[in-house]
Homo-oligomer: A and B are copies of this chain.
Amino acid sequence: MKRAVVLLSGGLDSATVLAMAQDRGVECHCLTVSYGQRHHHELECAKRVAEALGAASHREFSIPLNQFGGSALTADIDVPKDSLAEGIPVTYVPARNTVMLSVALAYAEVTGSTEIHIGVNAVDYSGYPDCRPEFVEAFEKLAQIATKAGVEGTEMTIHAPLIHLTKVQIIEEGLKRGVEYSLTSSCYDPLPSGHGCGHCDSCLIRGAAFAELGLRDPALAPEPEA
């Protein structure tokens, strides 16, 4: 049975990636990289998602990228509300996916995994340089060259199954595989209860997608009764 490292953030996208990987019949070792993000609630969600979807293992790895600052997600910069940003957003974390894939690569070598799965998406996050197909391809080339496994002839592949999907399509992929999206959190600035704020870029994007499917985002707080 092939082994895979699945980068699991606790958000909607990576939960869907895990469900898709499980579907392919690979043994999934989930890795949640905590990089000092303000939305710590996601880390708890990752644990619950890994359990609910029956992953082989789950572990957390902490890299204090917030030491460096430089992003609204890790430093004291306001998260923009109620407006989708143009260009590279302030929520971009310098080299975040490069660092996360590198750590996943180290973990892949240690666990004997030959696949790394990541939920990057080029449609809704076109502003992030490290969410583009050319980034994933460049990292796959690097992974082959950088590792003992690669040098010894094992193919090391990077899977980004969501890269060309819209948020609606991602949710559909997850729903047909039984992902409980109420367990996930994608919010950049969640409420004390852990529910999504409903106003940051991330909440706006997923909220609109659920709405298009005639659903309410299950990660939002329940609506007050009339």
Give chain B nearest CB distance to A183 CB in angstroms.
25
B139 touches A151 (CB 8 A): no
Per-residue 0/1 for A73-112: is the Cβ within 8 Å of any B Cβ (1 yes, 0 no)? Answer: 0000000000000001000111111110111011111100
Interface size class of A (residues with CB under 8 A): 35 or more
Instruction: Determine how many copies of this chain the complex contains.
Output: 2
Q: Is the CB of B148 within 8 A of A138?
A: no
Residues of A within 8 A of B (CB): 61-65, 67-70, 88, 92-99, 101-103, 105-110, 129-130, 132, 134-135, 138-139, 141-143, 145-148, 150-152
Contact A105 B110 (CB under 8 A): no
Q: Is the CB of B146 within 8 A of A135?
A: yes
Given A99-B102, A102-B95, A146-B98, are A110 and B141 neighbors across the interface (CB < 8 Å)?
A: no
